[in-house]
Chains A and B, each alone.
Chain A
Amino acid sequence: MNAQFKKGVLELCVLVLLDRKDCYGYEMVDEISKNISISEGTIYPLLKRLRKDKMVISYLKESQDGPPRKYYQITDVGKEKKEGLVAEWDEFSTGVNDLVHEKLMNNLGDIKDE
């Protein structure tokens, strides 16, 4: 898939994941990478910005198998932002889907006519 295309949705993905539960950076990368291929390093600058914009907060939490990890938690501001982004995404993806399918039907129609 076009790299340009995925750029804007990383913020959406991160906020959606954090809305489900608190995560550490690696966990989110892992989860997102299962579905779309991303350049994993870019998530940390994004998290830093989200924290600066008060959409998430971070805290350290002990882990069983190593040193404490930096966890992120979504704030009310972040939740509000997430709702907006999800709505935007739904509208966008349905719009594109409709267009793609309509185009497909037209093409089929053209082929039949020939």
Chain B
Amino acid sequence: MNKDEYIEELNKLLKKLPKEEKADIISDYEEHFMIGIEKGRTEEEISEALGNPKNLAKQIKAEYMLRKAEDKQSAGSVFEAALAAAGLGIFNLIFVAVPAMLLVAILLTLFVLGGAMVFGGIYVTLVTVLKLILPQYNFYITTYNGVLGSLGGILYGIGLTILGLALLAVLVYVTKWIYGLALRYLKWNLRVIEGKKRS
């Protein structure tokens, strides 16, 4: 492969990256070729030594996705980074992806539960109060009657809301922690892969 072919191939493989990012990366390799030629190597020798552009592009993309995930904290970007890292063949997708999905599913369920508790609590409180004010309407759901019953209903509702909020707060904390852990793990993987010889 000569210089133009190599750069062209790399350009094609990196087409998904933003223009600026790509231009910055390509300029590094152009400089590398230029200095190499000055030092008397042939373009073919330099291409060979640089390594397979496919492997290189995979590594560059994985690094980019990981940086994006660090800057913009979202589940989607971590997933993208994990996928890009998996493209490097560093870790077995099944052993990482399945537990990861399970974990996400559990977290999501707990979030829904927390949300339901908050809304349920507010609902019970409101309905009980409304029933006290407007006894002629039938609200079906609550069975709290009389002043004591209503008081119990309101307390129950408020308690449920507070519990739900507490659960959500804990979940946010846990999710952040897991997110950081996931990033650290991916980063470690990349550190290990760097310097990979062309296959």
| CB–CB A52/B67 < 8 A | yes
Query: Which residue of chain A lies nearest to B193 when distances are taken between CB atoms in the complex?
Result: A7
Q: Name the contact of A45 in the complex, choosing from B34, B194, B197 (C-beta under 8 A).
A: B194
| CB–CB B28/A39 < 8 A | no
| CB–CB A7/B192 < 8 A | yes
Q: Name the contact of A3 in the complex, choosing from B53, B56, B197 (C-beta under 8 A).
A: B197
Nearest-Cβ distance from residue B59 to partner chain A, whole angstroms? 5
- Size category, B interface: 20 to 34
Which A residues lie within 8 Å of B175 (CB)?
A: none
Nearest-Cβ distance from residue A2 to partner chain B, whole angstroms? 9
Which B residues lie within 8 Å of A52 (CB)?
A: 67
Known A39-B55, A44-B28, A44-B29; contact A24-B35, beta-carbon cutoff 8 A:
yes
Per the bound structure, the CA–CA distance linking A40 and B50 in Å amounts to 4
| CB–CB B59/A42 < 8 A | yes
- Size category, A interface: 20 to 34
Which B residues lie within 8 Å of A45 (CB)?
A: 56, 59-60, 63, 194
Query: Which residue of chain B lies nearest to A48 when distances are taken between CB atoms in the complex?
Result: B63
Residues 31-50 of chain B: 1 if any A CB is under 8 Å from the residue's CB, otherwise 0? 11011101100000000011
| CB–CB B28/A11 < 8 A | no
Which A residues lie within 8 Å of B36 (CB)?
A: 26
Which A residues lie within 8 Å of B55 (CB)?
A: 39
Per the bound structure, the CA–CA distance linking A66 and B28 in Å amounts to 15
Which B residues lie within 8 Å of A48 (CB)?
A: 25, 63
Residues 24-45 of chain A: 1 if any B CB is under 8 Å from the residue's CB, otherwise 0? 1110010001000111111011
Q: Name the contact of A7 in the complex, choosing from B39, B49, B195 (C-beta under 8 A).
A: B195
Which B residues lie within 8 Å of A11 (CB)?
A: 191, 194
Kindly state whether residue B196 has any CB partner on chain A within 8 Å: yes
Per the bound structure, the CA–CA distance linking A61 and B192 in Å amounts to 32
Which A residues lie within 8 Å of B135 (CB)?
A: none
Known A39-B51, A39-B55, A67-B34; contact A8-B196, beta-carbon cutoff 8 A:
no
Residues 58 to 99 of chain B near chain A (Cβ within 8 Å): 59-60, 63, 67
Kindly state whether residue B184 has any CB partner on chain A within 8 Å: no
| CB–CB A39/B198 < 8 A | yes
Q: Name the contact of B196 in the complex, choosing from A7, A9, A44, A47 (C-beta under 8 A).
A: A7
Kindly state whether residue A6 has any CB partner on chain B within 8 Å: yes
Q: Name the contact of A10 in the complex, choosing from B31, B35, B194 (C-beta under 8 A).
A: B194
Per the bound structure, the CA–CA distance linking A3 and B49 in Å amounts to 15
Q: Name the contact of A41 in the complex, choosing from B31, B56, B67 (C-beta under 8 A).
A: B56
Which A residues lie within 8 Å of B67 (CB)?
A: 49, 52
Residues 71-84 of chain A: 1 if any B CB is under 8 Å from the residue's CB, otherwise 0? 00000000000000
Seen from chain B, the residues whose Cβ lies within 8 Å of a Cβ on chain A are 25, 28-29, 31-32, 34-36, 38-39, 49-53, 55-56, 59-60, 63, 67, 190-198
Seen from chain A, the residues whose Cβ lies within 8 Å of a Cβ on chain B are 3-4, 6-11, 24-26, 29, 33, 37-42, 44-49, 52, 65-67, 69-70
